[in-house]
Chain A
Amino acid sequence: MQSTLLANPHSDSSNPSVTAVMVEQTRLAVLKMFNADPVHFDVVFTANATGAIKLVTEGFSGYAEGFNYCYHRNSHTSLVGVRELANRSHCFASNEETEDWLAGANESAFKGPLAERPLLFAYPAQS
């Protein structure tokens, strides 16, 4: 930072700008951390994990037909909040209920004519 002029890449017309190159290198370093191939994955920087969740929510809430949402009970508040923009939502009360639903069990609490809308299923890898 002491030796390089860093600037908002949008306002730096040099092509490519030093900042833009550094940002792209960092993006690749993040993907490498998780063994993610840049051909198949992209990294979008956000303010925090909640910002990432809100971005996904913005995508789904843009569908004209809306979207359905189901989430595991261990979800962080920021995952729970997505339900407020969904047409239908359901909280899985247990791992068993989640597994049953994934397997298409008829007795699952969250069923119905769902395919008409996209569905988003969210859960935390660790609670």
Chain B
Amino acid sequence: MNGERLPLDWTGKLRLSLHHPNSYSLLDVAALVSTTPIDLSNHLFAPDFISLSFYKIFGFPDLGALIVRKAAGHVFDHRKYFGGGTTEMTTCLGESWVARKDSSLHARLEDGTIAFRNILALKCAITTHRALFGGLEQVSTHARWLASILHDRLTSMMHYNGAPVCQVYKSIDSHYQDSQRQGPTIAFNIQRSNGAYIGPWHVGAFLRASRIHVRTGNVCNPAGMACALGVEAGWIRGAFDAGLRCNTEADVVDGVPFGIVRVTLGAMSTLEDVERLVSCLSRNVLERRGPLQETAQVRDKSKEWVEESRSPSAVSEMTTTRMDPPFLGRGERTTTLKTLGSLISWLRRRKRLYPRFHGRRHMLER
């Protein structure tokens, strides 16, 4: 969820524990090995099962793997299903009998045609990745350095009133210099100067408009997300019943953003990427002056639509107004408010959006 790293010695502790006979460990290293190596040289303390995904390391091919500690391979003696290529002989008529392959674990477990072209690509990717980046150790150092800079930049971004722009969800035990406890991933949400959240879906949308792609939503981490946001199962079910869905436009419920923005740095990330992200966030969400002082001469499309959804600034919206972002599909409209007619229509639209700010403007409208 937020790049927190958990102790790798838990698998060894489980194996040595007298309290847990007949126990096995499954370690999901998909996120870890995208930037950091694991060392299985000590098989006695290694996990029994390790799941990983190669595209997260190399970008290509789309392929995963299960690394099995052979001492735990007997678990698969209980596996019922068999697929093509995993059997020596099978009978169907008269008797249901099957002799499974026993030459190796992979011969018994790889059902059907293996992705042999992807496996060839993987072989090339392992060599190329090492030639390009010098191995995962180098990637780890590089990504940690970048993540540390990005974290500092995000946490030091403040609105005009001193309110933080980014709420970063980080475990209290970890920090970005410590690769044992933290990976190069930063999970955060964006707040306005009044503390209200801009939903992560919207943040993803304006970043995409600047050709920056980040993960938003629940990031497939249900319990980690609930803990970070401080919401309980009952609240989540209530929000679901009320129509909330992962990574959709209406993702702030009861003032709580149901989702996060997540940035992960890797082998290909550069300091320039970090600067671009920070400057795009700053351009779009940083409020530099109070609402009534602001005289923004806003030209950037993505900023203008965020203006719409944050504390309104009467002056800036009257000088240049583009209410609808083109990428929301409602068309691009630039309105310069010169005539009384357009002023009235602007006020009507504004009143619809921000009813509570319009008490004293009723006279004008009449």
Interface of A toward B, CB cutoff 8 Å: 1, 6-10, 19, 22-23, 25-27, 29-31, 33-37, 39-53, 55-56, 58-60, 62-63, 72-80, 91, 93, 95, 98-99, 102-104, 114-115, 117-127
In the complex the two chains form, is A121's CB within 8 Å of B25's CB?
yes
What's the Cα separation between A62 and B108 when bound, in Å? Answer: 15
Q: How large is the interface on B (under 10, 10 to 19, 20 to 34, 35 or more residues)?
A: 35 or more
Q: In this assembly, does B20 line the interface, its C-beta being within 8 Å of a C-beta of chain A?
A: yes
Known: A44-B105, A78-B220. A49 touches B28 (CB 8 A): yes
Stretch at the interface among B222-230, B269-277, B323-331: B222-230
What's the Cα separation between A75 and B70 when bound, in Å? Answer: 24
In the complex the two chains form, is A119's CB within 8 Å of B20's CB?
yes
7 example contacts (A-B, Cβ-Cβ < 8 A) are as follows A36-B67, A56-B51, A76-B28, A80-B222, A118-B23, A119-B22, A124-B30
Interface of B toward A, CB cutoff 8 Å: 1-8, 10, 13-14, 17-33, 36-41, 43, 46, 49-53, 56, 62-71, 73, 75-76, 78-81, 84-85, 104-106, 109-110, 113-117, 119-120, 122-123, 126, 136, 173, 183, 185, 220-224, 227
Q: Report the minimum CB–CB distance from A101 to chain B (whole Å).
A: 8
The 3 closest A-B pairs by CB, nearest first: A104-B19, A62-B78, A52-B66
Q: Report the minimum CB–CB distance from A60 to chain B (whole Å).
A: 6
In the complex the two chains form, is A45's CB within 8 Å of B31's CB?
no
Residues of chain B within 8 A (CB-CB) of A79 are 26, 28
In the complex the two chains form, is A34's CB within 8 Å of B37's CB?
yes
What's the Cα separation between A27 and B123 when bound, in Å? Answer: 9
Residues of chain B within 8 A (CB-CB) of A120 are 23-26
A interface: dominant SS: mixed
6 more A-B residue pairs beyond the given contacts A34-B33, A44-B109, A121-B23, with a C-beta to C-beta distance below 8 A: A30-B126, A45-B64, A48-B64, A59-B78, A60-B75, A126-B185
Chain A's closest residue to B3 (CB) is: A126
In the complex the two chains form, is B119's CB within 8 Å of A26's CB?
yes
Known: A37-B43, A45-B110, A80-B223. A125 touches B65 (CB 8 A): no
Residues of chain A within 8 A (CB-CB) of B27 are 122-125
Known: A37-B41, A126-B32. A45 touches B120 (CB 8 A): no
Identify the interface centre among B6, B31, B36: most chain A CB within 10 Å of its CB: B6
The contact of B2 among A8, A37, A118, A127, by CB within 8 Å, is A127
Q: Report the minimum CB–CB distance from A38 to chain B (whole Å).
A: 9
